[in-house]
Amino acid sequence: MNILFLAPRLPYPIDTGGKIRTFHNLKQLALRNNVDLVCFSFNKEDVKYEKIFQDMGINLCLIPATKLSGISATISILFSKQPFAVDKYRSKNMLGMLENLVGQEKYDIVHIDHIHMGQYVSRAWSIPSFIDEHNVEYRILERCADVEGASIKGWLYRAQARKMKSYEKEILSMVKGGFAVSEDDAAILRELTDNKSKIEIIPNGVDTEYFTSENIADENALVFTGSMDWMPNDDAMIYFCEEVLPLLNEKDLKIYIVGKDPSHKLKEFAKKDPQVVVTGRVDDVRTYINKAKIFVVPLRIGGGTRLKILEAMSMEKAVVSTSIGAEGIAYTKGKDIMIADTPEVFANTIRSLLSDTAKQKFLGKNGRELVCSQYDWSIVGKKLNSIYEMVKTNG
């Protein structure tokens, strides 16, 4: 098939959960099809990665992104009918490029990566279009509002959530199908459309050959990985440092917070408390996952499924997560993951695991078996390809 793949940014380097999903879906589609990737470029350095995609058989077209000014952003947040997250990806250059490509090329499928890019779907196109919802965005905004409470921030999040819900409903009415990463997300999206069957589940995955265990765990340490400029990750680790870590009362214990662009507040925690190690961006997160005994996911805000959990499970690590953090993963509590939703339970669960090596290994072994059987990217890719092949065959 000939597939037009539309994404908000170049999925390389693969240093965020969103980029990981986008990159591997692209890779799996390119194994069987001709793929044109059109995306925004936020960095002049992006061009140096073009050969990586060419070697995968993907034609890359980069559209320089223009950032909204502070005044434009404020106007968008307060007065635009569209959510701010959509407005900031609005581009006449992108629209012109897509109209030109669709007019010249015979595409069988348009794959739209992230809801933000749904604005470029045209009702005039006769090509079957599918939207890949990495998260149900309006639900994340609602949860942000819940955390912020009755503050101005909370009011703004609630306003953006209402706009996003209306926008997501509109886009789903325009496309042939939509993808959710979990049954939980699919159920929410199905409430936004009259045609429930148009929502399919394409789960997040993991490269089980890359994320393997070296069984080091040579430190009395915990680890969290994730892009720290994403608000839910920042909130999770501030919550952990303020409310969970003091309850552990283990002075020789370290918590590695691994990921790019950590906030000033997290850096301050690291300055004041030698137990807290904030690394910033690292070349290989496996180094820190390997050396720690337990992988923690204290998320209070989120949507979709956490690739970080799949990676930790693939590396046979004991995982302790909140219910929100583990949403969408077909886990069995106490078998392949531990669930803890209050600071006291989180701290007690960690303390118990640190002294129980056998339980750590039990959770790690079962976690690895789970991801190898259900979440390897090759399994995910087969499902995505089969959906598109069926659409081409049956119309």
Tell me: the pLDDT tens digits for 103-122? 888 999 999 999 999 999 98
Report the pLDDT value the prediction gives residue 66, as an integer from 0 to 100.
87
Q: Are residues 8 and 156 in the same domain?
A: yes
Q: Look at 123 and 155; give whichever has higher pLDDT.
A: 155
Q: Domain with 227 in it: what CATH number?
A: 3.40.50.2000
Distance, in Å, from the CA atom of 185 to the CA atom of 312, rounded to the nearest integer, reads 22
Instruction: Taking residues 336-344, report their average pLDDT.
Output: 98
**Predicted TM-score (pTM) of this structure:** 0.88
Q: Which range among 35-39, 111-115, 213-217, 282-286 shows the weakest confidence by mean pLDDT? A: 213-217
Position 101 confidence tier, pLDDT thresholds 50, 70, 90 = very high
Q: Are residues 44 and 60 in the same domain?
A: yes
Indicate whether 213 belongs to any domain.
no
66-93 residue pLDDT tens: 888 888 889 888 999 999 999 999 999 9
- Is the pLDDT assigned to residue 243 strictly greater than 80? yes
Residue % of the chain over a pLDDT of 70? 99
Distance, in Å, from the CA atom of 169 to the CA atom of 164, rounded to the nearest integer, reads 8
Handedness of CA 151, 157, 163, 165 (dihedral sign): negative
**Considering its fold, how many domains does the chain have in total?**
2
Q: Are residues 188 and 309 in the same domain?
A: no
Backbone angles phi and psi of 11, in degrees to 5: -80, 50
- Is the pLDDT assigned to residue 124 strictly greater than 70? no
Distance, in Å, from the CA atom of 261 to the CA atom of 130, rounded to the nearest integer, reads 32
Residue 245: both structure tokens together? 């870590």
Distance, in Å, from the CA atom of 8 to the CA atom of 114, rounded to the nearest integer, reads 7
Q: Which domain holds residue 149?
A: 2-205+376-394
Instruction: Taking residues 367-377, report their average pLDDT.
Output: 97
Indicate whether 176 belongs to any domain.
yes
Q: Are residues 301 and 172 in the same domain?
A: no
Q: Are residues 28 and 154 in the same domain?
A: yes
DSSP secondary structure letter of residue 69: P
Instruction: Taking residues 4-27, report their average pLDDT.
Output: 95
Q: Are residues 184 and 51 in the same domain?
A: yes
Range list of β-strands (E), 123-176? 129-132
Handedness of CA 92, 93, 95, 99 (dihedral sign): positive
**Average pLDDT across the chain, whole number:** 94
271-282 residue pLDDT tens: 999 999 999 999
Which is nearest to 319 in space by CA: 293, 331, 346, 337? Answer: 337
Q: Are residues 193 and 70 in the same domain?
A: yes
Q: Are residues 359 and 303 in the same domain?
A: yes
Q: Are residues 227 and 95 in the same domain?
A: no
Residue % of the chain over a pLDDT of 90? 88
Report the pLDDT value the prediction gives residue 87, as an integer from 0 to 100.
95
Helix axis angle for 152-174 and 137-148, nearest 10°, is 170
Q: Are residues 168 and 44 in the same domain?
A: yes
Residue 305: both structure tokens together? 């499924």
Q: Are residues 175 and 49 in the same domain?
A: yes
Indicate whether 210 belongs to any domain.
no
Range list of β-strands (E), the chain? 2-7, 34-41, 58-64, 109-113, 129-132, 177-180, 199-201, 221-225, 254-258, 276-280, 294-297, 318-321, 338-339
Q: Are residues 249 and 193 in the same domain?
A: no
Report the pLDDT value the prediction gives residue 316, as an integer from 0 to 100.
97
- Is the pLDDT assigned to residue 193 strictly greater than 80? yes
